Structure 1
């Protein structure tokens, strides 16, 4: 009897369907597990105190919802800015000249690094006096753009600082880290937490882990290049996105996020 080899046998088709079904099942289970882990982040639930609760050693994790976070009231040395909370801040960075200081305020979004470079180039072409320092007031945002802005700041040999009442959270500390000299008012707040590096938490783990690890590695190499102790990242890695770990002034000095002209760079 002649056997037809032009089509797979019934048993082969069953194996193919079984393998495809198993792959679909694995994908569903992985996505379901990732979704369950992401639900607390999506809902923004956290048992930590509100952001405006004073921090103390060992009690430095605070709830982090950028649209609801209050800013410190105006104090001596703090410009009268029209921001009652981070929700009032611009959704993307704004750049304002105050003498030789550049005020950088608002969320960091994709494309802000290019806008920042274009702004500095336009100032230079217009013959404006060069900036000496950048003052930051930002709830953070896109990590890649924060790193790109920081590299450009270091190349331009600019200082960075926070004044009284300013905040620098999430990805913003990576911009702060780029200053040749770095200063933070005792009445300012600097904090970090986990980042997504452009990936959604509901993606299957096997698709997201590689990008997350690559992003974390890039941040650690960036911090080392800027003269920052990479151990700073330990606080970011263990703090979920719906919370923020706020540094104490002594920690800022220990991790070298604060660096005065009297210290070696």
Structure 2
């Protein structure tokens, strides 16, 4: 099920989008991020755990999850945002998907550079529209695709405005996030894994 079908079938008011993804295309993530903000949803990082409706179990989440590349900008799209201590949020530069595996050895045309610069501009506008800081762009754009992604520290999560809350709305008071039930009355979570974002696809469109 895609995100638009999902929101047509459910009342998402007050819900939290739980993110566990290694990223996706720039323009698709921007469009999805604007949809998340338009719906007034919150965001966090987590992995869904199996539940049994037969036994009356609600959906549960674990904090041991990754939000990488463009997933980080989906996290930014939430009206309120929380990152558990054991979650990992990691950033790098956007790059052309068909050349990310050999970025140094690949060849590039002027049109390629124009597309990259255009999409950096789009990403910058999205970042500021969502209330993010220039630090997020600086941290991301300083990490080329041939080095390991940069994992954001707790201080960097707050400095970039990726984390605005110290808890999430569906967590029980005075408890950890480990296998926490969702907000009372909810039996669902939305994850980028089901929203068409594929690992390490970092370009805004397919390239010939």
Q: TM-score, normalised on structure 1?
A: 0.50
Q: Report the Cα offset of residue 206 of structure 1.
A: 1.2
2:78 matches 1:179: yes
Please name the residue that 2:156 is paired with. 251
Give unpaired runs (5+ residues) of structure 1.
1-94, 96-114
Residues 160 and 182, structure 1, Cα contact 8 Å, conserved in 2: yes
Over alpha carbons, which structure has the higher Rg? Answer: 1
1:213 to 112, 117, 138: 117
Q: Is the 8 A contact 1:159 1:179 kept in 2?
A: yes
| Partner residue in 2 for 1:166 | 65
**1:120 equivalent in alignment to 2:3:** no
Gaps of 5+ in 2: 47-62, 168-208
- Helix, strand or coil for the counterpart of 2:124? helix
Question: Going by fraction, where is helix more abundant, 1 or 2?
Answer: 1
**1:219, CA displacement in angstroms?**
0.5
Match of 1:238 among 94, 117, 142: 142
| CA pair 197-230 structure 1, distance change in 2 beyond 3 A | farther
Distance in 1 (CA, whole Å) between partners of 2:12 and 2:87 is 28
User: Cα distance 1:131–1:198, how it changes in 2: closer, same or farther (>3 A)?
Assistant: farther
Give the count of matched residue pairs: 145
Q: 1:91-240 residue pairs with structure 2 within 5 A?
A: 115-121=2-8, 123-124=9-10, 130=13, 132-163=15-46, 164-196=63-95, 200=99, 202-240=106-144
Confirm or deny: 8 A CA contact 2:66 2:88 kept in the other structure: yes
Alignment of 1:9-20 (within 5 A): none
**1:82 counterpart residue number:** none
Q: CA deviation at 1:199?
A: 6.8
| SS state at 1:147 partner | helix
Please give the alpha-carbon distance, in whole angstroms, between the structure 2 residues aligned to 1:259 and 1:229: 12
How large is the Cα RMSD of the aligned pairs? 2.2
Structure 1 stretches of at least 4 aligned residues deviating more than 6 Å after TM superposition: none
Q: Which structure ranks higher in relative contact order (CA pairs < 8 Å, sequence separation ≥ 6)? A: 2
Corresponding residue SS for 1:187: coil
